[in-house]
């Protein structure tokens, strides 16, 4: 008699695998460590100074919750794009699609481009990935305002960093990291004249923010408005 094989679901095992694929982003390592030490030190002073369980627990609940929110913000999943990435444009960030339209880009291209924008809430992962393979043509940083990131004017008026990438077949792709109403720091790891690849980190934006991608009009969008995206995983367009 042939023995039958029964597949057993292991939810806990799957959770452990997911946890192993998550790390803390280097942008938050020092802040999280120092704040944890500060919370511990203040909690110690409260206990030995006031001997109050209520005061101590109130402090730990409030500041412990804030620390856990910061921990969630700085998480950095380890991801790899599965499949052939040729001619594909993948999402540079976690978030939600807020723009899919033809737009005039008058800073570099001076013509219409397919513009795809991803809004990142404070609860999203804020690491950014390169959306295409290629070579970084230039990186430019611009100071500006801090309008709400989902507003159309945020793309040009807010503080932002522009990264131009030339694909292996010569198509120029513009990626724009945009600061939001709360974001006050844009970090860009991309360097001019360096090769770049999907799966590599392009940068990091602190707090709510947005990333725009400007593509040739011949590119075909693969997403819809309000669709959630996963950085380095969701295909947002196909190049001609």
209 is catalytic: yes
User: Is 140 in contact with 177 (CB distance < 8 Å)?
Assistant: no
**What is the spatial order of strands in the sheet that 111-120 belongs to?**
195-196, 134-142, 160-166, 172-179, 209-215, 111-120, 95-105, 228-229
Helices of type H across the chain: 11-20, 26-50, 53-73, 154-157
Local structure of 90: helix, strand or coil: strand
By three-state DSSP, how is residue 66 classified?
helix
Is the Cβ–Cβ distance between 129 and 146 less than 8 Å?
no
Q: Distance between the two ends of the chain, CA-based, in angstroms? A: 56
Catalytic residue among 85, 121, 155, 209: 209
Which are the catalytic amino acids? 209
């Amino acid at each position: 008699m042939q023995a039958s094989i029964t597949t057993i679901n292991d939810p806990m095992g799957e959770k452990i695998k997911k946890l192993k694929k998550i790390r803390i982003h280097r942008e938050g390592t020092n802040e999280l460590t120092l704040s944890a030490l500060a919370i511990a030190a203040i909690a110690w002073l409260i206990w030995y100074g006031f001997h109050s369980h209520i005061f101590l627990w109130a402090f730990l609940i409030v500041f412990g919750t804030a620390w856990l929110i910061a921990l969630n913000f700085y998480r950095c999943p380890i991801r790899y794009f599965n499949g052939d990435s040729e001619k594909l444009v993948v999402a540079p960030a976690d978030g939600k699609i807020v723009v899919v339209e033809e737009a005039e880009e008058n800073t570099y291209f001076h013509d219409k481009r397919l513009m795809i924008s991803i809004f990142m809430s404070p609860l999203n992962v804020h690491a950014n990935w390169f959306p295409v393979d290629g070579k970084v043509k230039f990186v430019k940083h611009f100071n500006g305002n801090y309008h709400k990131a989902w507003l159309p004017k945020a793309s040009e008026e807010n503080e932002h960093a522009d990264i131009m990438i030339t694909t292996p077949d010569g198509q120029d792709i513009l990626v724009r990291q945009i600061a939001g109403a709360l974001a006050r720091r844009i970090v860009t790891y991309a360097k001019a004249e360096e090769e770049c690849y999907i799966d590599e980190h392009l940068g990091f934006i602190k707090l709510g923010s947005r990333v725009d991608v400007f593509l040739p009009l011949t590119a075909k969008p693969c997403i819809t408005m309000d669709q959630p995206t996963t950085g380095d995983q969701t295909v947002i367009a196909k190049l001609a």
